[in-house]
Structure 1
């Protein structure tokens, strides 16, 4: 049974926003008391949080589909819907989040680091929130927006200071077991270790972590054996330690050749040339092992390697090795740039930024409108409600979409698509004329809610409308 998983594909879906409510307050002697529809609740987010108590992605391997709860719809009497509950997913320290194309979205290192993998949808406004001085009784409400849904890939890269690399059965697991309190599986056959083991070492005042990387053999960087699956676990390490077996029973192997082969695999994997190397000659408690160590040590030192002779079984040379690693780790930590305080960068929009673009799509023969506001407004519109559709038309007109369509050469009857190619709302464009604008300017009004105006006031308003038919439509509407 699989107990360690360091790469999974996760399908996350945030909660949908609740729909707004269209309602009119009613009570005795007040049959039309005004709009009182509440807003819909916000959909829950899907959030990844680093938890150092978690060491594997196994849970997401078995259950790759995760969804947050939806927001509740609004109700009458100005009751807003309940927000959806956020879904918090714990991931190991060192988890990298990628999209399906391999682009890095987040690198989660450090306890409590957070990444919002799916944003919950906004709740729709009820008709109480949509009412205004010019729109006193809206007969519609806005729909809740769908939550963000996407596929992401989680990769675990072990967070350790020292990585032990070498051939299978070179003694990496034995070495980490005596340097730290880790208890890896140890046996005398290749590929005993099937997962990276992590231990904590204390040398004087320095505390550092050490990991053994299993399965490195010739061709590991191209997928042979288990090496490719675990090479990513050396990427975060500050020091690479080559553990060489000086008492191997295989006649066609020798420690120097093993070193050259592992170095070539690390080179082909890439990104590790700047890491300092140390060579550990293991199993010197065996007579032949000590003789071979004495023979190859001068050659390794000529190459510039710092060499240590140890025996994990007899516990020889371990103190010198642990303090040497502590010194290199300390230097690596000191060389890292200090983390600066989080800075807030303000990037104001250009003064001529309309917030949308219009491009003619020759293949589909439509004018395609793209922009955050137009696309969000379309998602919020109930197209079964004529008044809601009219409200959308007013919003788009105030944003300047109609003006830009005219400048782009659109004519009455041309197709206009708002949204992406896969999920767009397409309609035949009919530009607003002066007379049409006068009629559209009264959407959402209910004269039964208005107090009677004096005759003189009605005459003045009528005369003003005849003098300027566009006046009402040009008045500011905050919604």
Structure 2
């Protein structure tokens, strides 16, 4: 038996990028062939895609942990690592993606709509890509960046044109079964409908969908019965149809009071339902007492401004008029919606004076650096390699981190944390580490590969500095995105 699941918590993990390779070309009679370490491949993304053939989130209820594959590491001989495969997760039309706090990340409506829920990590650069005019033989490579790991919530909100709402056993399932080809469960006891049922109705040239929502009772908006669990399925509907039972056996109920109660619950739930067009259906008029009650309440409902229809799912009385009236309102609602425009790409360049990072003093002797670039550079640094640490120091210096630390009042020996509390790298700050060369020497240079040129060294160093700045743009560029 198929189970309907419309809300799941999903744990996703995108693939991590492959590490870059530190390699030197070796060939007979060519002992110093230069660096030839390839770049690591990028990690696979986790992508949600709307698929019309998927109607429930059941698969993710049973298997909530999903992970994309990692990128392969680079190899010598300038061989690049293979990219990780993207993980495609099909979801029903009308799926809303939320984070753990309940904030909406995406609203997926329409066949083929996609959302990258988890970004794969970029691959680390090999030492061949890190080589420059001054750094001709890097003895290190960058590590692959970890993929995005997060928890998300998927909620299904049924995409339908018309929603049938009312008390349990008001005849909503019977009505949708005769209006369309849907075959919901029908029985003579309350809460027969446990999940929303969808049916397709054709009225003339108009085709629209009708949703039968489980019955509402007083307090549904507060969680009583099944109402709150499924009220979100009427949020997208263009028309609300009140199905009122004119043959109820409960002495304390009548169609008018049922309508007032349902309206109260819809108003308390919110979601913009108070502004939707409404129709009233007086159901079960094939029963003598039902017809009498319908004749009594119809004038009152019409006086309130409702368009009222008397129908019977058994005798099919009034169904044609109802279906065409719904088709007219659905067409008007569709015409009122703005037409889809061509996709536009909006580019918002960063301000020329934007540093791209922040330095804050958190306590006496402790400063924290936050920013996309410095945090990514830290994740890609192999701290077991002194040359790689020196390269990180040079990058941070060129970015202006040391200058901002001085402005913030940092002194030698103060603690500096780069990143958040969960994954920060903390070190004791030494102002001279920004220069790098004083502590670790000239990184990536090999005196065996070039003859000394004292006269031109200063000029070449200035040119090499400019080349290193241009190299930074390449280091930050991800060729796989």
Quickly name the TM-score band, shorter chain normalised: over 0.9
- Measured after TM superposition, the shift of residue 438 of structure 1 is 5.8
Moved over 3 A (4+): 433-441, 470-476
* Structural mapping, 1:384-399, within 5 Å: 384-399=384-399
Match of 1:336 in 2: 337
- Are 2:163 and 2:240, in contact at CA under 8 Å, matched by a contact in 1? yes
Q: Measure, in 2, the Cα distance between the counterparts of 1:410 and 1:474.
A: 27
* Structural mapping, 1:59-74, within 5 Å: 59-74=59-74
Match of 2:479 in 1: none
Structure 1: stretches of 5+ with no match in the other structure: none
- Measured after TM superposition, the shift of residue 448 of structure 1 is 2.0
Q: TM-score, normalised on structure 2?
A: 0.94
* Structural mapping, 1:99-248, within 5 Å: 99-248=99-248
Structure 2: stretches of 5+ with no match in the other structure: 473-481
Q: Deviations over 1:398-445 (max 9, x none)?
A: 111111212222111111111112211111111128996467562111
- Are 1:16 and 1:44, in contact at CA under 8 Å, matched by a contact in 2? yes
* Structural mapping, 1:396-475, within 5 Å: 396-432=396-432, 437=437, 442-450=442-450, 452=451, 458-461=453-456, 464=458, 474-475=465-466
Q: TM-score, normalised on structure 1?
A: 0.94
- Are 2:169 and 2:215, in contact at CA under 8 Å, matched by a contact in 1? no
Indicate the larger mover: 234-243 or 2-11: 2-11
Q: Measure, in 2, the Cα distance between the counterparts of 1:46 and 1:210.
A: 33
- Are 2:393 and 2:434, in contact at CA under 8 Å, matched by a contact in 1? no
- Are 2:97 and 2:107, in contact at CA under 8 Å, matched by a contact in 1? yes
Q: Measure, in 2, the Cα distance between the counterparts of 1:132 and 1:229.
A: 61
Q: Measure, in 2, the Cα distance between the counterparts of 1:98 and 1:63.
A: 18
Match of 2:273 in 1: 272
- Are 2:94 and 2:157, in contact at CA under 8 Å, matched by a contact in 1? yes
SS in structure 2 at match of 1:367: strand
- Measured after TM superposition, the shift of residue 250 of structure 1 is 2.0
- Are 1:118 and 1:148, in contact at CA under 8 Å, matched by a contact in 2? yes
Match of 2:285 in 1: 284
Structure 1 residues 86 and 435, CA, compared in 2 at 3 Å: closer, same or farther? closer
Match of 1:299 in 2: 300
Q: Measure, in 2, the Cα distance between the counterparts of 1:189 and 1:97.
A: 35
- Are 1:440 and 1:473, in contact at CA under 8 Å, matched by a contact in 2? no
- Measured after TM superposition, the shift of residue 341 of structure 1 is 2.0
- Are 1:12 and 1:151, in contact at CA under 8 Å, matched by a contact in 2? yes
Q: Measure, in 1, the Cα distance between the counterparts of 2:165 and 2:248.
A: 16
- Measured after TM superposition, the shift of residue 91 of structure 1 is 0.4
- Measured after TM superposition, the shift of residue 446 of structure 1 is 1.2
> Cα RMSD between the aligned structures?
1.8
- Are 2:40 and 2:144, in contact at CA under 8 Å, matched by a contact in 1? yes
Q: Measure, in 1, the Cα distance between the counterparts of 2:140 and 2:71.
A: 19
Match of 2:357 in 1: 356
Structure 1 residues 183 and 31, CA, compared in 2 at 3 Å: closer, same or farther? same
Instruction: Give the count of matched residue pairs.
Output: 469
Q: Measure, in 2, the Cα distance between the counterparts of 1:440 and 1:349.
A: 34
Structure 1 residues 246 and 438, CA, compared in 2 at 3 Å: closer, same or farther? same
